[in-house]
Amino acid sequence: MASISRTLAQWITNLRYEDLPAAVVDRAKGVTLQSIASSLIGAETASGKQALKMIADEEAGVKKGATLMVDGTLVTKGGAAYANSELALSGGKYDTFRMLTHPNTAIIPAALVAAESAGASGKTYLTGVVAGYEAMERMAAEFIPTVMSRGFHPGPVFGIFGAAIAAAKIMGLNEDQINSTIALCASLASGNLESARGGGTALREGAATRSAMLAVTLAQAGHTSSDTVLEGEAGFYHAYTGNNHGVLTYSFAGDVKANLANITANLGKDWMFLETLYRIYYTAGYNIAHIDVPAAICNENNIRHQDVDRVEAVVNWLETQYPSPAFTSRREDGEARVGGTAYFTAYGVVQRGYPVTAGRKVEAKDAPPAVLDLMKRVKIIPSHKMTLFGPCFTIFTKDGKSYTKQSTGREFIWDFDTHAKRIQDIANSLPIPAAQYGEIVAACRDLEKEARADKLVRLTVKR
């Protein structure tokens, strides 16, 4: 029986654009736009500027490589992958898969670097993006909380695989080379949590994306690896989950064991990629439903915030203990705080939404007084029975009535046009003119028609 990496490599090698369902292509376009939008925002942040300057200062003048987004400097492929990933992280417009991974911060920068390097078409690029997402998310799905509980952030730990697979597919690596790419990623994967918990700055998907390009380059040059590097006795899953039998320390749904065979089951038929959500607000992924769903309850029932007595939200238990019950740095089921889950729930009720242009820093002085008042009357109730990102909200009004809405966890899964419309307000706050951003949206929408996918990179550069 073929190993996990070998089975994935065979599927990735044989995957064609024509094999992709329309919804899968649409999602690949959407996550691309989300990542580019985040990179544009990130270029205006201190961390984004630092990443661009560091790589440009060290690597400017190379004859062959890839382009820094927004900046336009030609640097090495690894340097561009790192800096562009850091831009996407700094901008805060992530996508999110099962709360604790943000694939577009690694996969899209690597895919664009590969597309520029290979002169790849839009169709080739889209196929690579889909391959990277599907493989990464299948590898991560059941293991995310357990990996986090062992002190590793699953974003970079799994993101390196998605980034490398997307780049390898776009650059035309064969089955053996892709198998070796996956194995090399197991050696290069990392992302420890303690620095961030101790008040430092985390090194996350930027480093993973740079290492992904190293893995692809080594595999392309002939580096060979074992087929059992993922599920072997000393392999990836043993190292990052504590065993190679699928035994889980934590899980979103209370499961105690996962089947490793499910990673490759029904490849090309069941698309886990379609579970990917858009995190359009700069807040923790588990908060996104707490804005839109209470707002929908108020809109549907014509509820004024002045008439609300209190709000209760029953949520998945892991959403209340970040980043892990093993070492919780913040709890969401305790006293309400500015920038916490109760705050965003109240914001949804009072303001019927949240600005997509708002950044990471949330301060009481900037909040509407009614939000600060109502958040004290929001109760967050953890449950092992609630689906991830699918809280059940009940709004109690002062006249004794109550209104309940069960979210599904899929409220932030949209088609491309809906997604583009939802984030349109960022257009006037970017380092490029709104019209130029409009060109990016149009290019993403018709990406399969583009002769060169790296047109998207050129469109981010200031004119």
CATH of the domain at 323: 3.30.1330.120
| Residues 17 and 108 both lie in one domain | yes
Residue 197's pLDDT is 82
Flag whether pLDDT at 460 surpasses 90.
yes
Write out the residue range of the structural domain in which residue 304 sits.
285-406
Residue 257's pLDDT is 96
Are the beta carbons of 410 and 274 closer than 8 angstroms? no
| Residues 232 and 346 both lie in one domain | no
Flag whether pLDDT at 291 surpasses 90.
yes
Q: Write down the mean pLDDT value for the chain.
A: 96
CB under 8 Å to 67, separation ≥6 — which residues? Answer: 73, 74, 75, 80, 116, 454, 457, 458, 461
Local structure of residue 200 (DSSP, 8 states): S
| Phi (first) and psi of residue 130, to 5 degrees | -60, -45
| Residues 220 and 147 both lie in one domain | yes
Q: What is the pLDDT of residues 114-151, one digit of tens each?
A: 999 999 999 999 999 999 999 999 999 999 999 999 99
| Residues 204 and 130 both lie in one domain | yes
pTM: predicted TM-score of the whole model, two decimal places: 0.96
State mean pLDDT over 174-185. Answer: 98
Residues 282, 301: Cα–Cα separation, whole Å: 27
User: What percentage of the chain exceeds 90 in pLDDT?
Assistant: 91
State mean pLDDT over 93-117. Answer: 97
How many domains does the chain contain in total?
2
Q: What is the pLDDT of residues 401-411, one digit of tens each?
A: 999 999 998 88
| Residues 105 and 200 both lie in one domain | yes
Residues 210, 77: Cα–Cα separation, whole Å: 8
| Residues 238 and 271 both lie in one domain | yes
| Residues 390 and 419 both lie in one domain | no
| Residues 318 and 176 both lie in one domain | no
Q: b/e string for 385-396 if b means 16 or more Cβ within 10 A?
A: ebbbbbbbbbbb
Edge-to-edge, what's the strand order for the sheet holding 402-406? 378-383, 308-316, 392-397, 402-406
Name the nearest CA neighbour of 367 among 388, 337, 396, 392: 337
State mean pLDDT over 152-177. Answer: 98
| Residues 135 and 236 both lie in one domain | yes
- Return the CATH number at 105: 1.10.4100.10
| Residues 271 and 143 both lie in one domain | yes
Flag whether pLDDT at 196 surpasses 90.
no
| Residues 183 and 274 both lie in one domain | yes
| Residues 85 and 188 both lie in one domain | yes
Residue 254's pLDDT is 85
Residue 199's pLDDT is 82
Flag whether pLDDT at 1 surpasses 90.
no
